[in-house]
Structure 1
Amino acid sequence: MNMLEAVRLVAARELKVKLRDKTFLISTLFFLLFAFGSSVLPALFAGGPSSVAVAQGSPYEGKLRDAGLDVKVVANPEQTVRDGDADAAVVDKNAQPEVLAMKDAPSDVVSALSVQPAVQLLDPDAVNPVAAFLVPFMFALVFFFTSLTFGIQIAQSVVEEKQTRMVEILVAAVPVRALLIGKVAAGGILALAQVALIAVVTVTGAQFTDDADTLLPLLGPAMSWFIPFFVLGFIMLAALWAAVGALVNRLEDVGNAGMPVQLIVMLPFFLVIFLNDNPLAMRILSYVPFSAPTAMPVRLFDGSAAGWEPFVSLVILALAAAGALLIGARLYEGSLLRTNARTSWSAAWRDRELRSI
Structure 2
Amino acid sequence: MNARSQVVLVAQREVRERLRNKAFRITTLIFCLAAVGAGLAAGLIGSGGADEVTVGTSGPDAARVVDGMQAAGKSYDLKPEQKAFGSAASARAAVDEGDVDLAIVDGPRLLVGVDADARSIALAQAAWRADAQRQAVERGGLRGAEARAVLSPAPLPTTELGDADADAKQGVAYIGALLLYLVIFTYGLTVSSGVVEEKSSRVVEILQAAVPPRRLLLGKVLGLGLVGLLQTAAFLVLGAIAATASGAFDASGIAAGAAAITGLYFMLGYLLYACAYAMAGALCARQEDLQSVTSPLTILLVGGYLLSTGAISSPDGTIATAMSLFPPWAPIVMPGRVIQGAVAWWEVALSVALMLAMTLVVLRLADRIYRGASLQVRGRTSLKAALGGAGR
Shorter-chain TM-score above 0.5: yes
Aligned to 2:297: 261
- Give the gaps of 5 or more residues in structure 2: 86-90, 127-155
Once the two structures are superposed, the pairs formed by residues 162-241 of structure 1 within 5 Å of their partners are 162-208=199-245, 210=247, 212-213=249-250, 217-218=253-254, 220-241=256-277
C-alpha change, 1:182 and 1:59, in structure 2 (3 Å) is: same
Larger radius of gyration: 2
The CA RMSD measured in Å over matched residues stands at 3.3
Aligned to 1:91: 103
C-alpha change, 1:114 and 1:243, in structure 2 (3 Å) is: farther
Aligned to 1:63: 69
Give the aligned residue type for 1:344.
Answer: S
Structure 1 residues 58-84: Cα deviation after superposition (integer angstroms, max 9, x where no partner) = 413343355355554433488999999
Give the aligned residue type for 2:344.
Answer: A
Contact 1:136 1:294 in 2 (8 A): no
Structure 1 residues 297-337: Cα deviation after superposition (integer angstroms, max 9, x where no partner) = 22223322123221221122122222221121111111100
Aligned to 1:124: 162
Report the structure, 1 or 2, having the larger helix content: 2
Q: Which moved more, 1:228-237 or 1:263-272?
A: 263-272
Q: Which moved more, 1:296-305 or 1:191-200?
A: 296-305
Report the TM-score, using the length of structure 2 for normalisation: 0.77
The one of 127, 151, 154 equivalent to 2:191 is: 154
Aligned to 2:151: none
C-alpha change, 1:126 and 1:41, in structure 2 (3 Å) is: closer
Q: d(CA) in 2 for partners of 1:140 and 1:162?
A: 33
Aligned to 2:37: 37
Q: d(CA) in 1 for partners of 2:192 and 2:180?
A: 18
Other structure's SS at 2:381 match: coil
The yes-or-no answer on 1:74 pairing with 2:83 is yes
The yes-or-no answer on 1:272 pairing with 2:308 is yes
Give the aligned residue type for 1:150.
Answer: Y
C-alpha change, 1:48 and 1:332, in structure 2 (3 Å) is: same
- Give the gaps of 5 or more residues in structure 1: none
The yes-or-no answer on 1:251 pairing with 2:287 is yes
Aligned residues: 346
TM-fit CA distance, 1:222: 4.2
Q: d(CA) in 2 for partners of 1:13 and 1:153?
A: 15
Give the aligned residue type for 1:34.
Answer: A
TM-fit CA distance, 1:340: 0.9
Q: d(CA) in 2 for partners of 1:112 and 1:43?
A: 27
The yes-or-no answer on 1:349 pairing with 2:387 is yes
Structure 1 residues 5-24: Cα deviation after superposition (integer angstroms, max 9, x where no partner) = 11111111111111121221
C-alpha change, 1:337 and 1:219, in structure 2 (3 Å) is: same
Aligned to 2:330: 292
Structure 1 residues 39-72: Cα deviation after superposition (integer angstroms, max 9, x where no partner) = 2124335544333334472413343355355554
Structure 1 residues 240-298: Cα deviation after superposition (integer angstroms, max 9, x where no partner) = 11122211111111111111221221221122123442611111111111111122222
Report the TM-score, using the length of structure 1 for normalisation: 0.84
Contact 1:331 1:349 in 2 (8 A): yes
Other structure's SS at 1:312 match: helix
Q: Which moved more, 1:338-347 or 1:32-41?
A: 32-41
Q: Which moved more, 1:180-189 or 1:123-132?
A: 123-132
Aligned to 1:13: 13
Aligned to 1:52: 53
TM-fit CA distance, 1:152: 0.8
Contact 1:49 1:108 in 2 (8 A): no
Structure 1 residues 153-173: Cα deviation after superposition (integer angstroms, max 9, x where no partner) = 111111111222111111111
C-alpha change, 1:336 and 1:70, in structure 2 (3 Å) is: same
Q: Which moved more, 1:166-175 or 1:71-80?
A: 71-80
Give the aligned residue type for 1:33.
Answer: L
Q: d(CA) in 1 for partners of 2:232 and 2:110?
A: 52
